[in-house]
Amino acid sequence: MGENVENLPEIRQFKEWFEKRHEYAKKWKEKTGGKVVGYFCTYVPEEILYAAGILPVRILGSHEPESITRPYLHDMYCPFCHDTLAQGLQGRYNYLDGVTIAQSCLHMRQSYFSFADRVENIEWSYYLPFPHGVNNPYAADYAKHEFEKFKAAVEEWTGTTISDKDLEEAIQVYNKNRELMMKVFEFRKADDPKITGLHAMYMVVSSQVVDKAEHNEVLESLVEKLPEVESDREVGTRFMLIGSEDYDEELFKLIEYGMDYPATFVFEENCTGSRYFWGTVENGDDKLMALARRYVYRVPCPAKDWARGDFFGRRRFQFIERVIKDWNVEAVIIAQMKFCDPHELDIPSLRDMLDKMGVPHLHLELDLTQPVGQFRTRVEALIESMGEEDLYI
């Protein structure tokens, strides 16, 4: 008899890191005397910061209603950028020494600028241009050039020199983290996916806010235990989650633990899921070029995927198509952050692709807090429409 996944200390550790991310960073700072840099969006080459002895932490919101960001951000900017800035304005990120963003979308950029200007104790900020046209043949050269400037800025600020060896070590730690999380996701292909989407979210988001080396230790232990793990919950409908960042526990708890019908997320294609860690850095002599290639050629955010034409020809859509087949996905939930233009532009094509593949799908618009009752009705109705033939007599 294997251990129940809910009781695994590794899952509990991820959850604790997720919930107490500020406390973790403060303790890390006390312990190491190092600097902590907050980053917006997952195109920041964290390895460069890590190589300089810095702890990179992703800036996240708290999903609590707020009304303090309106002087800085337009009402129709996404709730995520409001929420992240609100955390800064409320002093929850006062332990940060620096803040950075790699260009992704305008809403996040505005949040970053206000954050950098308004949050106390921020002594260093860096806006990192990153190519939107990631399918352009010169994109990696461009990114490498910007990474060089970024590295120089980090060196100047910290007074350190980041050697190739430092970069190599950071890349190894980060690659290991990616490989281990990909292994965990591999388990989810099985009839018994071992973990739920909620567990996966704790795992991925905690990796964004703690020291990767420490995270790797827990991941290694989890990967070792997972084959023996048992779950006492019914898997039910195998869902894939596609969309904007989504680390709202309420949504996972509702769909996986709070409905009349059993359901489990077997894959999350978002930047708090696979889009963050999928794809390693292919190491080579030129470390910065290796990094540039990884970030340019990773599964792109919709803000970056500019290829035109048949959607099956687009990199992100090809990835989604493969996941649906390999992970035996039965239905897709497209969860898009309200006012997220890049996703809004992608969703019509995504729906067309899913229709062509014959995969049922449901679109939920995420806000700062979620209308749980309405979401429940919609998801349950989707599941009902996929079966229950014998009720129609």
Residue 285 lies near another protein (rule: CB under 8 A): no
Phi/psi of residue 242, nearest 5 degrees? -125, 135
Does 330 help bind another protein (rule: CB under 8 A)?
A: no
**Residue 352 lies near another protein (rule: CB under 8 A):** no
- With contacts defined by CB under 8 A, name the span among 10-18, 49-57, 297-305, 378-386 that binds another protein: 378-386
Q: Which stretch, 50-58, 115-123, 211-219, 364-372, contacts another protein (CB under 8 A)?
A: 364-372
Give the Cα separation of 256 and 258 in Å (integer). Answer: 6
φ and ψ at residue 157, rounded to 5 degrees: -65, -45
* Residues in 145-184 that interact with another protein by CB under 8 A: none
Q: Per CB under 8 A, which of residues 238..277 are in contact with another protein? A: 260
358 binds another protein (CB under 8 A): no
- How far apart CA 135 and CA 300 sit, in angstroms, is 10
| Cβ proximity of 238 and 328 under 8 Å | yes
Residue 365 binds another protein (CB under 8 A): yes
Helix (H, G, I), strand (E, B) or coil at 336: strand
Nearer to another protein, 71 or 373 (CB): 373
Taking the C-alpha atoms of residue 169 and residue 185, their distance in angstroms, rounded to an integer, is 24
CB of 380 to another protein, least distance (A): 5
Q: Is 76 in the site for another protein (CB under 8 A)?
A: no
User: Which of residues 4, 94, 121, 374 is near another protein by CB under 8 A?
Assistant: 374
Q: Are 363 and 340 in contact (CB under 8 A)?
A: no
* Residue in 220, 265, 221 with CA at minimum distance from that of residue 247: 265
75 binds another protein (CB under 8 A): no
Return the structure tokens found at 346: 């992608």
DSSP secondary structure code for residue 243 in this structure: E
Judged by CB under 8 A, the stretch of 128-136, 163-171, 230-238, 366-374 that binds another protein is 366-374
Short-list 206, 279, 272, 244, CA closest to 365:
244
Q: Is residue 381 near another protein by the rule CB under 8 A?
A: yes
Q: Is 380 in the site for another protein (CB under 8 A)?
A: yes
The CB-of-369 to another protein minimum distance in angstroms stands at: 10
Interface with another protein: number of residues (CB under 8 A): 18
- Complete DSSP assignment for 355-389: HHHT--EEEEEE-SS--HHHHHHHHHHHHHHTS-G
Residues that bind another protein (CB under 8 A): 260, 365, 367, 371, 373-374, 377-378, 380-381, 384-385, 388-393
